[in-house]
Amino acid sequence: MMGLQTVFRAVIMGAPGSGKGTVSARIVQSFGLKHLSSGDMLRANIEAKTDLGLLMKSCIDQGQLVPDDVISRLILSSLRGIERTSWLLDGFPRTVAQAEALDAVCDVDSVINLDVPFLTIRERLTSRWVHLPSGRVYNVDFNPPKKPLCSDVVCAYRAYSLVSCAQGLDDVTGEPLVQRDDDSPETVSRRLKDYERQTQPVLEYYRSKGVLETFTGTETNKIWPHVQAFLTRKIPGIQQAMGKA
């Protein structure tokens, strides 16, 4: 890495539910990188009923990857115009073709790989709740919202498996939280299989470039200090305080 480098470009990888969004939020807070999540962007398109969102909704709900050219165009156009900003990509690239498309535009300094057992992941995803507009994630056991909505009425709804009823309110906006359509156990299985088949080769791709750093564990709170120490070593020349990048 050159001494004059002023921007830091990182990718966070890991299976669905490995904690990419959770760790990204901590990285943003500690290091001020701009967070770009492919999944959040796609869900925002679905929510806003854009042409892209309408076209991709069923694909995403079923846990399938969207086509490489569609997601590459979306992400690379978001990177255009922020060439002088340090960023963290979450959820992209997810295939070798996507990694090559990114490489054609810029070099990645570090790839943070969260290695979490699939059994742990399955348990987490059934109790995940999200605030769709911001992408903030909660978990009934791990990081519950400050305002839970567990009135008797909601609990009664839960008994009938009406999972779409809100289980709490977003800490920042007070808006209701929802469960993702792709978090059903069957869809999670499909996403994990696709991850093994299509995304694990991307880890090899970055390993061969010497930029891959793997963090293994079952708890984000135990993984996080290692990620934080790694980034503290890696971003020496860059202003770490928020807003100064």
Q: Which residue is nearest to ligand G5P (CB)?
A: 39
Exposure letters 212-223 (e unless 16+ CB within 10 A, then b):
bbebebeebeeb
Reduced to 3 states (helix: H, G, I; strand: E, B; else coil), residue 152 is: helix
Q: How far is the CA of 5 from the CAs of 9, 106, 109, in angstroms?
A: 11, 13, 11
Closer Cβ to Mg ion, 91 or 168, answer by number: 91
* Active site annotation includes 122: no
CB of 115 to ligand G5P, least distance (A): 12
* Active site annotation includes 197: no
CA dist., res. 20 & res. 114, Å (int): 7
* Active site annotation includes 158: no
> Which of 10, 17, 31, 215 touches ligand G5P (CB under 6 A)?
17
> Which of 8, 9, 11, 20 touches ligand G5P (CB under 6 A)?
20
Closer Cβ to Mg ion, 25 or 211, answer by number: 25
**Residue 94, contacted partner among ligand G5P, Mg ion, none, CB below 5-8 A by kind:** ligand G5P
- Answer yes or no: are the C-beta atoms of 44 and 37 closer than 8 Å: no
* 21 near Mg ion, judged by CB under 5 A: yes
Whose tokens are 């890696």? That residue is: 234
CA dist., res. 78 & res. 62, Å (int): 25
**Residue 42, contacted partner among Mg ion, ligand G5P, none, CB below 5-8 A by kind:** ligand G5P
CB half-sphere exposure, 175, CA atoms < 13 A: 10
> Which of 7, 44, 66, 154 touches ligand G5P (CB under 6 A)?
66
Residue 235: other Cβ atoms inside 10 A = 23
- Answer yes or no: are the C-beta atoms of 106 and 79 closer than 8 Å: yes
* Active site annotation includes 191: yes
- Given 43, 94, 124, 136, the catalytic residue: 94
* 32 near ligand G5P, judged by CB under 6 A: no
Ramachandran angles phi, psi of 94, nearest 5°: -125, -5
> Which of 18, 113, 167, 179 touches ligand G5P (CB under 6 A)?
18
* Active site annotation includes 180: yes
Closer Cβ to Mg ion, 171 or 240, answer by number: 171
Count how many residues are written for the chain: 245
Q: With residue 229 as reference, give the H or E element that holds it.
A: helix 220-234
Q: Just list the catalytic residues.
A: 20, 94, 128, 180, 191
Applying CB under 5 A, the residues found at the interface with Mg ion are 20-21
Applying CB under 6 A, the residues found at the interface with ligand G5P are 14, 16-22, 38-39, 42, 59-60, 63-66, 71, 91-92, 94, 98, 124, 128, 137-139, 141-143, 182, 191, 219-221
